[in-house]
Amino acid sequence: MYASGGYKFTQKNANQLIELGEFLGRSKFSVLDKKALQIWSIQDFKSVPKKATHYYKDLNENLLPKIRAMTKTNKINNYRADLYLGYINLFNKHPEYKTSPDNFLAVIDRYNPPTLEAMKLQQRIYANFQKQLQLNQMMFNQTMRLQQQAADNVSKSIKDQATRYSIIIPGGTILHETDSKIYAKDSKGNRFEIPK
């Protein structure tokens, strides 16, 4: 289709770009849009043949095989969203890619115009979900601390009551209690203290 400085752009390259576009656009392109993309891709190739050759090589060897191998819908959708955002960032950094109204992203958006809005909504939902998970974890941790505290209090209360009974049953008397000790005397009048 086109050659420059030892670099070649072939119909296969154009078809690969169309396949990627249809993946991102979630639909098969019309004949007119395929032709428009082909024209745009040739113009893009002419402006940077070396860079474009590397891109199409990566597209052929890595990106498209990875897409074709995906089977899980959730994984496909997440990958599509990440890839689409990557192309948006790339096109924003290189406005020369947008010189044609039939550029790569423009054609994709004809088939899937809400893509960016849907991705932004998905990101907001995910962020809210993460915040809710953090809040739930904080509430769970607080509940567990309160339950442990209550269990410790019950355990201490049972231990204190058991200590009291061990003094009273053999004829002893509890004289005074503090938070940390019980002061008592036994049946013979001997005074002693027991840590709580």
Judge whether 119 lies within some domain: no
Three-class HEC string of the chain: CEEECCEEECHHHHHHHHHHHHHHHCCCCCHHHHHHHHHHHHHHHHHCHHHHHHHHHHHHHHHHHHHHHCCCHHHHHHHHHHHHHHHHHHHHHCHHHHCCCCCHHHHHHHHCCCHHHHHHHHHHHHHHHHHHHHHHHHHHHHHHHHHHHHHHHHHHHHHHHHHHHHHHCCCCEEEEECCCEEEEECCCCCEEEEEC
Q: Are residues 54 and 134 in the same domain?
A: no
Q: What is the pLDDT of residue 191?
A: 87
Q: Are residues 157 and 91 in the same domain?
A: no
Which domain covers residue 37, as residue numbers?
2-113
Does residue 176 carry a pLDDT above 70? yes
Q: Per residue in 22-78, pLDDT tens?
A: 999 888 999 999 999 999 888 888 888 888 888 889 989 999 999 999 888 878 888
Q: Per residue in 111-122, pLDDT tens?
A: 876 556 666 667
Judge whether 40 lies within some domain: yes
Q: Are residues 55 and 135 in the same domain?
A: no
Judge whether 118 lies within some domain: no
Q: Are residues 13 and 86 in the same domain?
A: yes
